[in-house]
A and B are shown apart, each in its own frame.
Chain A
Amino acid sequence: MLDEKDFITLVRENQGIIHKICFLYEEDREARNDLFQDVVLQLWKSRKTFRGEAKATTWMYRVALNTAISGVRKKSRRPSLEYLDQRHDNLADVQPENREEKTRMLYEAIRTLAPVDKAMIMMALDELSYDEIASTIGITPNNVRVRMNRIRERLRKKLKTP
């Protein structure tokens, strides 16, 4: 089982997964902070189920998505894109603006998807295999493939719409 030091290193190195899930499943900063805290606590409680030979990202996705999708939290009243606004401000000096705009558009497009679709596209973008996505969601790899076509089509339309 992971000790505290190894656990913290694992979370620090893979925290991008948690931040992305928080951003895509919660709409305001307070709710995202709460979700981040809940995910880290759930990972900590579930650490005995993490086997070193398995991919850390698959395990983290499983626990984080279960926490985000099936957890009951206070719902925010208004949607906010402050996360990306902040990102834009901070990276504006070092990266061309159109890249930031593309990032914003991608996140916005994914946010409009249904909860399961969001989960599937996130894992696909993080290069998890269809088998890993299927076992995390609880469906067959073939169904993942079929659904992914539809999600890709939806995303393509959203990203092309001005």
Chain B
Amino acid sequence: MTELEELQEIWNRPLAHIEKGDEEIAALLNLKGRSLVSRLRQSVWFELTVTGVASILLIAYLFTVQSAAMRSTIFSLITLFLIFIYVYTRKLWILRHFTKMNGSLHENIVHVMSRTRKYIRFFYGSYIILYPLFYCLTLSFVALETGWDYFKETFITPGFIADLVVFLGVYIIVAFWLTRWYLQRLFGDYLQQLNKILDDLGKLEEQPGHNNAEDNL
């Protein structure tokens, strides 16, 4: 028996003790994926559903409210929720065709890396807009709550505006640092691993080929 045949004989030994039956395999088809992308998709769907339902409830509530200040607050919230609905829909679109299972390993890795980078860019980009927006909305809620005239008199002073700008800067830096940390934790090692595999595949293509008929493992 040659070396190859011996290895193949070892490799092809039955795995009877872990083999699954038809029912177990059928049950798997009703489960959800366990990969990070599947879990992200499930969580974005959940967020989208909750935001959608909350928006509908708020729109219904808007028609029953008499106070102008309250109407403005609700209207701002609805606008914010609609922005979130756009963000979640876009995230789902990016996550939808994350892998290219029918392609070769090389094609699939290139595709997955491009999708991951796209997702990260979108995640960052959306928060570049959303963080300052949260901040401005909070200020407008304070203005609505206290009354515009009182707000103008009390808060719009050079000292207070300087404080607001400093606080906005700190807020944005902390928020971005947290976003970066989260994305790094989520995808950092993963992108590095994929890059390493891609390098490995690249080296394979660069190496000088040689034909050796006896090497047939």
CB of A26 to closest CB in B, whole Å: 11
Given A16-B15, A145-B211, are A66 and B217 also a contact pair (CB < 8 Å)? no
Given A138-B201, A149-B215, are A72 and B37 also a contact pair (CB < 8 Å)? yes
Chain A contacts with B in 101-147, Cβ cutoff 8 A: 102-103, 106, 114-116, 119, 121, 124-127, 135-140, 142-143, 145-147
A81 close to chain B: CB less than 8 A: no
Given A19-B18, A73-B36, are A145 and B212 also a contact pair (CB < 8 Å)? yes
Q: How far is the CA of A12 from the CA of B12 in the complex (A)?
A: 16
A157 close to chain B: CB less than 8 A: no
Q: How far is the CA of A87 from the CA of B104 in the complex (A)?
A: 32
Are the C-beta atoms of A70 and B105 separated by less than 8 Å? yes
Which residues in A have their C-beta under 8 angstroms from that of B106?
137-139
Chain B contacts with A in 3-48, Cβ cutoff 8 A: 3, 7-8, 10-22, 25-26, 28-29, 31, 33-38
CB of B186 to closest CB in A, whole Å: 8
Chain A contact-residue range equals 35 or more
Which residues in B have their C-beta under 8 angstroms from that of A147?
204, 207
Are the C-beta atoms of B34 and A38 separated by less than 8 Å? yes
Binds A, one of B57-65, B107-115, B142-150: B107-115
Are the C-beta atoms of A71 and B37 separated by less than 8 Å? yes
Q: Which of B37, B101, B112, B201 contacts A45 (CB 8 A)?
A: B101
Q: How far is the CA of A19 from the CA of B105 in the complex (A)?
A: 19
Q: How far is the CA of A2 from the CA of B181 in the complex (A)?
A: 44
Which residues in A have their C-beta under 8 angstroms from that of B107?
138
Which residues in B have their C-beta under 8 angstroms from that of A151?
217
A99 close to chain B: CB less than 8 A: yes
Chain A contacts with B in 64-120, Cβ cutoff 8 A: 65-67, 69-75, 83, 86-87, 90-91, 95, 99, 102-103, 106, 114-116, 119
Are the C-beta atoms of A34 and B201 separated by less than 8 Å? no
Q: Is the interface of A mostly helix, strand, loop or mixed?
A: helix
A42 close to chain B: CB less than 8 A: yes
Are the C-beta atoms of B28 and A69 separated by less than 8 Å? no
**A5: nearest chain-B partner, CB-CB:** B22
B209 close to chain A: CB less than 8 A: yes
**B8: nearest chain-A partner, CB-CB:** A125
Which 4 pairs between the two chains have the least Cβ-Cβ distance?
A138-B106, A138-B104, A72-B36, A34-B34
- A-B contacts besides A106-B7, A125-B7, 14 pairs, CB < 8 Å: A8-B25, A8-B26, A34-B34, A34-B35, A40-B29, A45-B101, A46-B102, A62-B104, A66-B105, A71-B99, A106-B11, A142-B211, A145-B209, A149-B215
A residues touching B (Cβ–Cβ < 8 Å)? 4, 8-9, 11-12, 15-16, 19-20, 34-38, 40-42, 44-46, 49, 62-63, 65-67, 69-75, 83, 86-87, 90-91, 95, 99, 102-103, 106, 114-116, 119, 121, 124-127, 135-140, 142-143, 145-149, 151-152, 155-156
Q: List 16 A-B contacts (CB under 8 A).
A: A9-B22, A15-B25, A20-B15, A40-B25, A40-B29, A63-B101, A66-B101, A69-B197, A70-B109, A71-B37, A99-B13, A125-B8, A145-B212, A147-B207, A155-B7, A156-B3
B residues touching A (Cβ–Cβ < 8 Å)? 3, 7-8, 10-22, 25-26, 28-29, 31, 33-38, 99-109, 112, 187, 189-190, 194, 197, 200-201, 204-205, 207, 209-212, 215, 217
